[in-house]
Amino acid sequence: MGTGIEGLCAFHAEEKTVTDTAPKASGVDATLRALLADILGLGEERAAALTADSGLFGELPEFDSMAVATVLTEMEDRLGIIIDDDEIDGEIFETYGNLLAFSQRKVAG
């Protein structure tokens, strides 16, 4: 099931080197919640209340097509990962659980 976000922005990651400062899987959840709170203006309480089933794109008015590129860029910066264009699809942004699982896989390598 597509959400229609594929192709909304030409996202090209800069070449980066993953460092030892990337958060471990246990810290990915906290980093991702802080990132969403900052970018979407959710506030700490609202970000902390996100569950695996919480809808993101299409559910949160703040999470629009403009926010997608910013979230991806911040994920790279804060998590120390590289996200390729072909890894991005609408399913990643359907729920917080999907976004978290994707982030944890990227951090784990």
Q: pLDDT grade, residue 10 (50/70/90)?
A: very low
CB-based burial label for 20 (10 Å; 0-12, 13-18, 19+): exposed
Domains of the chain: 25-108 (1.10.1200.10)
Number of CB atoms found within 10 A of residue 84's CB: 9
Which pLDDT does position 88 carry in this prediction? 94
61-80: pLDDT as tens digits: 999 989 999 999 999 999 99
Q: What is the pTM of this model?
A: 0.77
pLDDT of residue 21: 46
pLDDT at 1 over 60: no
Contact call for residues 27 and 96 (beta carbons, < 8 A): no
